[in-house]
Structure 1
Amino acid sequence: MRADMSGPNTPYDPVEVAALDPAHLQEAVDAARAAFAAARDLDELKAARLAHVDRGAVAGARREIAALPPSAKAEAGKRVGAAQAELGRALAARTAELEAERDERILLEETVDVTRPTGRRPLGARHPLELTTQRLQDAFVGTGWEVVEGPEVESEWMNFDALNIGPDHPARQMQDTFFVDPPDGGIVLRTQTSPIQIRTMLTRTPPIYVVGTGKVFRTDELDATHTPVFHQIEALAVDKGLTMAHLRGAIDHFVRVMFGAGTRTRVRASYFPFTEPSMETDFQCFACHGEGRVTDAKGATVACPTCGGSGWIELGGSGMVNRKVLRACGIDPDVYTGFAFGLGIERALQLRHGVTDMRDIVEGDVRFSQQFGLEV
């Protein structure tokens, strides 16, 4: 029998089984150690383990033990077991080293600098015009009024005639109104939210307490104080026995909700074709509290920039609904009276938050909207 072949040996001679020779086992262990040390990562270490532990000389020696006589198995088993234990310790030590290197490398490669600006698209925000509109509507809804809407493309009759704006009125000329083609077709982009009131009175029986909001269109150039598309809110009440006193009370409530409790108002006679009598309402400046003077950052007393030094801010037009308007909508003016008032929502936003340029409101820059948070 050749010395390198397994088989019963009688009598046993260790020299005849070279795989179990102590020197041969030590050489196998040293080769495995060198392979483990040379592994640069866990994948290479796995390949070294397969070559030197799972399929190496030590594994071959373990298989040779079965061919030995009983009297020799114990001694050979100790030598092979010692070699296997040494391989296990060397493999575990190198595995721990490479795992530590891997973890350190991952920490370095995947480090996140939390101070760097995010590359994510910023979240949007509700537009302050929408938030202001809701706040204005809530001032009425809280006292039992109803929010109503109407179409933005209107008939001339709804937009003008029913509101006592005759054919020769300057507002009906094309420099103020967008006419839908053909220009003589009687269809316009509404110039005010008052047609909502007309539609409401045509379809409902008093008592009526409604507030209409929406987008309106006029042929203005876009600049710091004007825009061809803006928003209005108008309130309408029609009932028996309504007077100017009720109108003043409704306006005072509205102003105090928007600009603070205790804000005073005053009225000035005016003219509108759809109300008679008509008035303009001013409210006490919330910045200077009616004084007309404020203290600037340098401690000097200067004219209030919010009200221009007058102590008052113009709110908008109002008045008792013209009898002709009531009659055009099928409501008997001898039985019912009504009042109406309104203002521009952009103007309310500008006044409340000191927005000086109308273009900031309409250009759609999310950075402008984000300044107002979740509530206006």
Structure 2
Amino acid sequence: MLVQALLTGLNNFHKVPFYRVLTIFNVFVCISMVVCLISTYDGKPEYRKLQACIEKNLKIIGATVPFFDNIELLPNVKVNESSIIIDITNIYIRKILEKNADVLSSALPKNYIVNDYYLSKDEKKFLINYENINKPTRYIFNSLIELNKTFENFNSYVVPLDKKRSINLKEQPHLLITGASGSGKSYYSMFLVAYCLNKGFDTYILDFKQSYTMFEDTKAVVAFTVDEIAEKIQVVRDQLHERQCAMKDYLRMDNNLVACQCGFAPLVVFVEEFTALMNSGADKKVLKDIEATLLEISSIGRTASVHLVLITQVASATNLNTSIRSNLTPLVMGNGSSTIYETALGCKVPDVMTKFEKGEGLAKFDVDIFKFSTPTLNFPLREFVYGQE
């Protein structure tokens, strides 16, 4: 039996060299059979896929295996829609699984990826979390009531992205939203403005192209001309400095605190079409001061809960100060070439998907690059803005 052979090999691992080969052989068989359970999750084993995955992984040690056609030979394993749980009672099994767990991704069916793997706290189970990358993750709301109910328990420093991931402003304090016209970037940006207002955030909109006129009669501070933008950005800068001073005592107690945890409302500055603003032909000193303040916010605003959301079609070095860009979490939306995505994300993006629907794109949180789908409202955005149907 497979399990018996595995345990026998492990117990004699230190005695005979042959058992070392047998142990690795059996563990790879177990790993391969476990991950292939995903394709047999509906109770109908696909033996050809099972055999292919086993053989693929065992090529690493130059082994070949006969065809296993009995799923019951597997060790104590549970598979659900998002994880595989393997019972472990032998330290050698644990060590070998930990060492070779990186082969799991290559063994999974094409539309599945491994997110992480780890030991349980009691060290008796090995857990493998995976996901189906084709599974829909977009929020779709048919009413304002449904939307408010979904987000009512979100923390004060969290804003929605899709069902799988939210944006934690403590970890991703500043955003770059970029994409061509029609990609959905402006709609998502307006959704975020409405969300911030709904949550009681101090909200500033610096909109040189005057696309956000629907927010003029809200609690948001809206500026359209260069002079108005310069005036409002100075107000934000003053508030940033005031919050920094007020946070000194809190930070002495806990240097991980941010202002929204100490009684301050998050303050979010939306800058629509930053490139158009910088190329407006206005006084260079005024534009330079605006850019300097945005750089200051992106550099030190996190602790003060002062956040920057910069929206632009192009995020190249010629259109966006690289020091500012390096402080922003990029969300790239719409169909585009690998070059466009690599410029915004700041790294190579192999086999980038270019067939995105409106509101979809790629984001980069630290080193993690992933696909996202922004919320869809099947009712007028204005209802969310003004809080009534």
Q: What TM-score comes out, normalization by structure 2 length?
A: 0.21
Answer with 1 or 2: which has the greater Rg. 1
Q: Of the two structures, which has the highest relative contact order with CA contacts closer than 8 Å and spacing of 6 or more? A: 2
